[in-house]
């Protein structure tokens, strides 16, 4: 059943279902999501689950679709900034959404990139991301700051792919939250720097410089924590 046809009480139950699904996926992974447990946690019957959302795959798709819409709204709220800021806002909004529910999103990202069952969801997420980058690239072009030789579709795909890779590295524990954001902004800004000129290029260079400093600081802090833990472990063995 489409969410647009639901009454307000039905929408409330549907939101409970999707929130409960995210909670179960965060704790047990997608394989641990069962319709019976989902019904119990969301305080509805199993037939209601199927009526308001659908089966297990539909639950996952609906949960991700809702979050994708929130991500898009966050980007649209930044409209009116400079073209360069608008392009960087796509990466920043994506990172902020992931950090909003880190345990759930870490599980979800690993699922999207490793499971054939999640391929339709993965395609939808990537499509939405590419569209937002494409709109931002069009704004750079309209401002006269985009190199004439660059293929805009390819550029949007590469920006999305870079962001996906950094997100997956974060999901695997490579980055802290602050370092994740810094690396994502650094990758986006340096990719755009190669094909931009004028004021957008200068603005992107400032973003890249700040992000580079934050990423370097995050790496130093991580090394310091690792060395500290190693020292404590060595001391406990004496």
Q: What is the pLDDT of residues 180-197, one digit of tens each?
A: 999 999 999 999 999 999
List, for residues 142-183, the tens digit of each pLDDT value: 999 999 999 999 999 999 999 999 999 999 999 999 999 999
- Other C-beta atoms within 10 Å of 218: how many? 19
> What whole-number distance in Å separates Cα of residue 134 and Cα of residue 138?
6
pLDDT at 77: 77
- C-beta contacts of 158-163 below 8 A and 24+ residues apart: 158/191, 159/90, 159/91, 159/133, 159/188, 159/191, 159/192, 160/126, 160/129, 160/130, 160/133, 162/187, 162/188, 162/191, 163/91, 163/94, 163/129, 163/187, 163/188
Domains annotated for the chain, with CATH where assigned, are 3-52 (1.10.10.60), 61-219 (1.10.357.10)
Contacts of 83 (CB under 8 A, 6+ apart): 136, 139, 140, 142, 143, 145, 200
pTM above 0.85, yes or no: no
């Amino acid at each position: 059943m489409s969410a647009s046809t639901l009454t307000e009480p039905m929408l409330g139950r549907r939101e409970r279902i999707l929130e409960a699904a995210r909670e179960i996926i965060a704790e047990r992974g997608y394989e641990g999501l069962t319709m019976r447990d989902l019904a119990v946690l969301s305080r509805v019957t199993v037939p209601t689950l199927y009526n308001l959302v659908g089966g297990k795959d539909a639950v996952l798709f609906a949960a991700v679709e809702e979050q994708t819409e929130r991500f898009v709204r966050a980007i649209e709220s930044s409209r009116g900034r400079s073209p360069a800021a608008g392009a960087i806002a796509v990466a920043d909004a994506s990172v902020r959404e992931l950090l909003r529910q880190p345990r759930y999103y870490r599980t979800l990202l690993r699922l999207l990139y490793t499971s054939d069952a999640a391929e339709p969801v993965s395609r939808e997420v990537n499509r939405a991301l590419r569209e937002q980058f494409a709109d931002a690239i069009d704004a750079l072009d309209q401002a006269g700051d985009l190199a004439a030789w660059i293929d805009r579709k390819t550029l949007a795909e590469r920006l999305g792919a870079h962001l996906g890779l950094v997100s997956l590295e974060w999901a695997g524990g490579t980055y802290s939250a602050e370092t994740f954001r810094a690396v994502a902004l650094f990758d986006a800004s340096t990719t755009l720097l190669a094909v931009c000129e004028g004021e957008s290029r200068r603005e992107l260079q400032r973003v890249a410089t700040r992000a580079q400093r934050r990423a370097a600081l995050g790496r130093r802090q991580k090394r310091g924590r690792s060395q500290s833990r190693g020292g404590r472990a060595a001391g406990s063995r004496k």
